[in-house]
Structure 1
Amino acid sequence: MSEQENFQAPDLLSGLDVEQRLAAETLRGPLCILAGAGTGKTRAITHRIAHGVHTGVYNPTSVLALTFTTRAASEMRTRLRLLGAPGVQTRTFHAAALRQLQYFWPQSIGGTLPNLVEHKAPLIAESARRLRISSDRAMVRDLASEIEWAKVSMHSPESYAKVASSRDLPNGLEAVSMARIFQTYEELKDDRSVIDFEDVLLLTSAILEDNEKVAANVRSQYRHFVVDEYQDVSPLQQRLLDLWLGGRDELCVVGDASQTIYSFTGAKPDYLLNFGAKYPEATVVKLVRDYRSTPEVVNLANKVLSTRRIETSMPDPTVTWPEPLELIAQRDHGPSPEFFEAADDEQEAAEVAQRIKALLKNGQDVSEIAVLYRTNGQSQAFEQALTARGISYVMRGAERFFSRREVKEGMLALRAALNVAGDQPVSQLVRDVLASHGYAPEAPTGSTGAVRQRWESLSALVRLADDLVASRGAQGDQVTLRDVVKELEDRAATQHAPTLDGVTLASFHAAKGLEWDVVFLAGLSDGLVPITYAKDQAGYDEERRLLYVGITRARIHLYLSWSLARTPGGRAHRYPSRFLDGIKSVRQASSRQQAPVRRKPQKLTPLVCAGCGSFLTTAKERKLKRCSSCPAAYDEALFESLRSWRAAVAQSNSVPAFVIFTDATLMAIAEHRPSTLPQLAKISGVGRSKIERYGEAMLAVLAEYAG
């Protein structure tokens, strides 16, 4: 170890807070870092690795840092290079496994590794056709997700058939049909000598288990492991990690159970939560100082988790709720989060776009604004609203940048131009080459969807060339078209996409790991957040965590909105997300510069519980004017008297009891105990016709009970 390296090591720790420094100095043995959103976990683990390298504890090539996205791996790799530890291997689970599989396949299995299929859809669609099961694109996508879940949960088609009956299967398929599709898909892959991404992990695990020589080789190469986002590890990934470790405990894991949002893919926070039980001697460090967001944003995020409640209609004693990390904001105060309610989706999108336009007018960087929503199908309204106001936007979470057709075509065109490039400046040459494929200096007017994406993709290639010329030129280097092509090829190999310029439109899931100065969380109504197919306590808890992830993407400005109807003039049957209960009162969205809404005026402020102040989201709750969690205020004996009276009336009229009055209406009557017909008429569910039919009799029952 040189004097220079000894001198650098303390500097790597000087900028860390107390908890980050403790994590960075713990170089040996198992280490669990519980890191809340925005608490500098990447900074902590990269400084830890670099500190270990500079002090000689780690050989850089013996460290394997694992992430879940190529973007995160690229960011970590860049940070380590800047910290003087460029030799550390930083990869996703799949990339690390594929590299080993390609190397060891010839000596373990023999022959050539089967080709990797990037998309399952064609094979799954063919599997369904062979079994005469009709499927459209949406169903094929759902079938692919189910097969991926089965494989990362380490189920074969045979073992999957035993658990499928307890799962919600695509399009209401029977368990036996889903298992047969899974089996046919596996047979088709074998027939065509191809493997999928889950097979990469399965085959690598199998080779390590079956071949001690290969396992010893891998374990001698990698001695120290770091796993980021450990709450998202699947059973298959954990199995592979255990095989890499081979019984050793040189493992550092980083995660936050409150950010577990990928359970549908097989991710389980159990490995993070039970780390201490597996490694009793482990050091546990909690990072709770939030450096990303203002105190106002942090307080709202904490409140969303702390107000979690049991859904009384579906109690599940097996569901646990780990104590959330309570974040402590480190930034200066900023504006309070704003809540607004719109009449319909169109007005909500228009209001969001109008606010973005005002922010841009005040100097806000367009690339530091994001609009986040629960499902990708919600993006269309925001695309149209932003386009109508001339605001550029980029879609995130769709097709990978370097997999886009226009990007591939653009790269081929630039590669072909290498043979004819003259003395023209590189930046202009790139523009000229890409102009024939649809590039223009300005965005196409009024375009959305594929047309807009094509222009954005080509513009990103142009900006990348400009950035390369600027950075290399500042160092005195001459940049050629060949340099631009090589930069693109290197980025494509690591899926390091260039930064696109515009407002980011993304789902909550696609926004994980990202952050912006300004975040709009849109469509926060029950049925979307939580989503309708969340049908048990575990599902509702995950939806709450998803909202928490969305909130913690914001650094300074945070807007939360929802609409009462889907379309203009539609029935206002929506209510704000139950996760906002007790957090903030509701305000109607501004309708400035909006066309008049063509429907009867609606009262836009929803009812709240008289007991706890939370929003009332069901018809029964609104009728009783209290939520299902608060105790009943009515006389139960009176309620039973009213039910007995109703049963007698229903029998004499030969109609179902609920036709007379519903239970909820009887509860409300028992609670308010009206003594006159006008008082009785004010109770929800008691209309004019029922007053005429049953009013006097109802008052007689009430008077008799009171007497």
Structure 2
Amino acid sequence: MLAGAGTGKTRTITHRIAYLVNTGHVAAGQVLAVTFTARAAGELRSRLRPLGVDAAQARTFHAAALRQLRYFWPRVVGDRQWDLIEGNKLRLVGQAAHRLGLPTEFEVLRDLASEIEWAKASLISPDDYPATVARLSRDIPESAERLAELYRGYERIKNEAQLLDFDDLLLHTTAALEEHRGVAEEFRDRYRCFVVDEYQDVTPSQQRLLDAWLGGRDDLTVVGDANQTIYSFGGASPRPLLDFTRRFPHATVVRLERDYRSTPQVVELANKVIGAARGRPAGSRLSLIGQRADGPPPRFAEYDDEVAEANAAAGRIRELLDTGVAASEIAVLYRINAQSEVYEQALSEAEIPYLVKGGERFFARREVRQAVAALRTAAAGDPGGDLVILVRKVLATVGLTEQPPPGGAAKERWDALLALVELAEELATAVEGATLAKYVSELDQRAAAQHPPTVEGVTLASLHAAKGLEWDAVFLVGLAEGTMPILHADGDDEAIEEERRLFYVGVTRAREYLSLSWALSRNPGGRRNRRRSRFLYGLVPEGHPAARVARAKATSTGPKVRCRVCGCALIATMDIKLGRCGKCPADVDEDLLTRLKEWRVERARELKVPAFVVFTDATLVAIAEQRPTDDSALVSISGIGATKLDRFGAEILAVVKASDAE
């Protein structure tokens, strides 16, 4: 099933499962539906319950694998079950890095851990890692050989401590099914029908587990949208989705293109965004068709600095709140989490409640834990009566008043308790005669699945974290070159196209109100040297003030950067950095480029920073093409300013000179 954003794929999935069960094709308990986030799995369970098929399993890949591994462990391994690593793996990665003399700062360890996760998700062993990253020209934070040693060391430390990481759940469960016939037969007798949501995000390790589950059968439904592939850095690929009919020639392909989420104005903009993508495979060419009534046109705005941009967003949010839009139906989305600070400040000053997605977990909050404990005690007494009234009565004992407090932390606690009441109302509507015990069970399931109820407040989230969510009003902020697309994607066509898809995901989160903005400098009074994102060209309507600003800049009498080959004016960031048009032939010195990359690895290790912080790949390519011989030629390359000239200039020129000498 090829399903575009907002086309009702969750409804389609759940109704298909209900149809298969109700027509006798399969028993509800023989269905396993898997997706990629705990929230999405919780949403599937919530949708299946009113359809009478709540016995069907809906889990993430990792949750399903953990359940199966725990069940089969005594038969496969025989001794005590290994524990999951608590928190994250950075402690163990740090131990392995320390033994190799590698940096152990938090940011470095995070990058090293991500590389190990990518390798395991991609089914790449430590022995195969160096050759694989060389073939893929992957930008890595250390030398391939050192990373392979780190990978081995991490696995050794983890296994000696008898611990499992999340990637192990998939790998060990797959091994149990592939290598133990009895285990495979029992599992395949238990589960007969499989549904995979967000199939464009499947990794090789997840695909292999799915193949082990199937065991050659074809009772499989997959749903995805290649236009929303945004996790390739973690090993995800849309290829299994696009090649599905080759593997299963008799499969029925259903295309969902009618968008029931967004207004035609938002849909039109989304189609323009993804329509400009390069190299789109045929299976990804979905064009959304808006089904809602007309709404306001998307807003575009350019600001002098990020503070002005954030204050303007807060002002517009206040206007929407005054017209009746709920705070929980508004989101501010940005490329990286570091951008949230200025919006937190602006919303705080405007006295607008907000939630930072990725912050403290809902069910870990003190007031929520107290409330759940009180509800569990009350449920043990088996009180009868209206569920919502009972929940309100219990929560009144832990701080839920009839009227909300004026603001601050007290209001946040009150909002959390009110969210529990609203969840009770939802359950009472979906399940006739729902009891307090059933409600507490629902809370336990949501806590285990990290599927919190909606809490009133504007959502602040990264674009990656916003995947799968939607709001009435969305503010896409910080849409400047270097941020969208992100700086280290420049020079890599595939990375740029993934950034475009990420932008597309952001646009399609909006139901009705969509605002897009960018700032020319970071701080008030700073140099206004930023440019709006290349993805916005062709989107800003003619006659719009932002379009006039862009034209004025493009036609100004100031100096233009011109192609050193054909002399044409350069506009794209990558073209300016290379000093030539993308269509003009490259004359990169491959030997020099290799030397530059080796130098960068050593300097990054010395400075204990990721390699791209020293110089991006695009800057190194520009140096290898232009082969500067003095400071003047070096600073003429975009991306090399006074600071980097002072810090690295002499070393770079020495590398160029040594290459020329040989």
Q: TM-score with structure 2 length normalisation?
A: 0.78
Structure 2 CA distance for partners of 1:43 and 1:121, relative to 1, 3 Å? same
> Deviations for 1:593-614, whole angstroms, at most 9, x for unmatched residues?
xxxxxxxxxx95455768xxxx
Deviation of the 1:52 alpha carbon: 1.2
- Structure-2 residue corresponding to 1:324: 285
Q: Which amino acid aligns with 1:167?
A: R
Q: Which amino acid aligns with 2:481?
A: D
Q: Secondary structure at the match of 1:158?
A: coil
Q: In the alignment, is residue 353 of structure 1 matched against residue 314 of structure 2? A: yes
Deviation of the 1:473 alpha carbon: 12
Q: Distance in 1 between matches of 2:434 and 2:29?
A: 33
Q: Which amino acid aligns with 2:496?
A: Y
- Structure-1 residue corresponding to 2:49: 81
- Structure-2 residue corresponding to 1:58: 26
- Structure-2 residue corresponding to 1:191: 160
Q: Distance in 1 between matches of 2:237 and 2:423?
A: 41
Deviation of the 1:408 alpha carbon: 5.3
Contact 1:371 1:503 in 2 (8 A): yes
- Structure-1 residue corresponding to 2:276: 307
Q: In the alignment, is residue 526 of structure 1 matched against residue 481 of structure 2? A: yes
Structure 2 CA distance for partners of 1:577 and 1:247, relative to 1, 3 Å? same
> Deviations for 1:627-680, whole angstroms, at most 9, x for unmatched residues?
469xx99xx9xxxxxxxxxxxxxxxxxx98988xx999xxxxxxxxxxxxxxxx
Please show how residues 639-678 of structure 1 align to structure 2 within 5 Å.
none
- Structure-1 residue corresponding to 2:120: 151
**Worse-superposed segment, 465-474 or 83-92:** 465-474
Q: Which amino acid aligns with 1:567?
A: N
Deviation of the 1:221 alpha carbon: 1.2
Deviation of the 1:125 alpha carbon: 2.2
Contact 1:473 1:479 in 2 (8 A): no
> Deviations for 1:510-554, whole angstroms, at most 9, x for unmatched residues?
111111111110011111110011130100000000011100011
Q: Distance in 2 between matches of 1:75 and 1:275?
A: 25
| Percent of aligned pairs with the same amino acid | 49
Q: Distance in 1 between matches of 2:94 and 2:368?
A: 27
Deviation of the 1:169 alpha carbon: 1.9
- Structure-1 residue corresponding to 2:527: 571
Structure 2 CA distance for partners of 1:326 and 1:609, relative to 1, 3 Å? farther
> Deviations for 1:245-304, whole angstroms, at most 9, x for unmatched residues?
111111111101000001011100000011111112221111111111111111100001
- Structure-1 residue corresponding to 2:334: 373
Please show how residues 290-689 of structure 1 align to structure 2 within 5 Å.
290-309=259-278, 323-398=284-359, 400-403=361-364, 427=392, 430=395, 433=398, 441-442=404-405, 445=408, 456=412, 459-461=415-417, 463-465=419-421, 468=424, 488-535=443-490, 536-585=492-541, 604-605=549-550, 619-620=561-562, 627=571
Q: Which amino acid aligns with 2:456?
A: D
Out of 229, 232, 247, the residue aligned to residue 216 of structure 2 is 247
Q: Distance in 2 between matches of 1:477 and 1:308?
A: 51
Aligned length: 573
Q: Secondary structure at the match of 2:52?
A: coil
Structure 2 CA distance for partners of 1:456 and 1:148, relative to 1, 3 Å? farther
Contact 2:332 2:460 in 1 (8 A): yes
Contact 2:423 2:453 in 1 (8 A): no
Structure 2 CA distance for partners of 1:457 and 1:263, relative to 1, 3 Å? farther
Please show how residues 86-125 of structure 1 align to structure 2 within 5 Å.
86-118=54-86, 119-125=88-94
Contact 1:414 1:433 in 2 (8 A): no
Q: Secondary structure at the match of 1:383?
A: helix
**Worse-superposed segment, 617-626 or 104-113:** 617-626
Q: In the alignment, is residue 280 of structure 1 matched against residue 249 of structure 2? A: yes
Q: Distance in 2 between matches of 1:303 and 1:147?
A: 37
Q: Which amino acid aligns with 2:123?
A: M
Contact 1:35 1:256 in 2 (8 A): yes
Structure 2 CA distance for partners of 1:65 and 1:618, relative to 1, 3 Å? farther
Q: Distance in 2 between matches of 1:618 and 1:433?
A: 66
Deviation of the 1:54 alpha carbon: 1.0
Please show how residues 27-38 of structure 1 align to structure 2 within 5 Å.
33-38=1-6
Contact 1:521 1:561 in 2 (8 A): yes
Q: Distance in 2 between matches of 1:193 and 1:618?
A: 61
Q: Distance in 2 between matches of 1:474 and 1:515?
A: 22
> Deviations for 1:319-367, whole angstroms, at most 9, x for unmatched residues?
9686520111111111111100010000000000000001111111111
**Worse-superposed segment, 83-92 or 173-182:** 173-182
RMSD over aligned Cα, in angstroms?
A: 3.9
Structure 2 CA distance for partners of 1:418 and 1:215, relative to 1, 3 Å? closer
Q: Distance in 2 between matches of 1:35 and 1:478?
A: 34
Deviation of the 1:462 alpha carbon: 5.0
Q: Distance in 2 between matches of 1:504 and 1:228?
A: 24
**Worse-superposed segment, 124-133 or 86-95:** 124-133
Q: Secondary structure at the match of 2:514?
A: strand
Contact 1:519 1:558 in 2 (8 A): yes
- Structure-1 residue corresponding to 2:147: 178
Structure 2 CA distance for partners of 1:531 and 1:340, relative to 1, 3 Å? same
Q: Which amino acid aligns with 1:374?
A: R
> Deviations for 1:198-225, whole angstroms, at most 9, x for unmatched residues?
1000000111111011111111111111
Q: Distance in 1 between matches of 2:266 and 2:157?
A: 50
- Structure-2 residue corresponding to 1:643: none
Structure 2 CA distance for partners of 1:588 and 1:617, relative to 1, 3 Å? farther
> Deviations for 1:165-191, whole angstroms, at most 9, x for unmatched residues?
532223xx2222222222222122112
Q: Secondary structure at the match of 2:107?
A: helix
- Structure-1 residue corresponding to 2:589: none
Q: Which amino acid aligns with 1:168?
A: D
Q: Which amino acid aligns with 1:353?
A: A
- Structure-1 residue corresponding to 2:235: 266
Q: Which amino acid aligns with 1:293?
A: S
Deviation of the 1:34 alpha carbon: 0.6
Q: Distance in 2 between matches of 1:120 and 1:657?
A: 44
Out of 198, 211, 224, the residue aligned to residue 229 of structure 1 is 198
> Deviations for 1:115-156, whole angstroms, at most 9, x for unmatched residues?
011411222222222323223222222222111111110122
Q: Distance in 2 between matches of 1:207 and 1:402?
A: 33
Structure whose CA Rg is larger: 1
Q: Distance in 2 between matches of 1:278 and 1:477?
A: 46
Q: Distance in 2 between matches of 1:384 and 1:359?
A: 19
Q: Which amino acid aligns with 1:500?
A: V
Q: Distance in 2 between matches of 1:656 and 1:181?
A: 39
Deviation of the 1:42 alpha carbon: 1.3
Q: Which amino acid aligns with 1:66?
A: V
Q: Distance in 2 between matches of 1:274 and 1:123?
A: 38
Q: Which amino acid aligns with 1:574?
A: R
Q: Distance in 2 between matches of 1:427 and 1:575?
A: 52
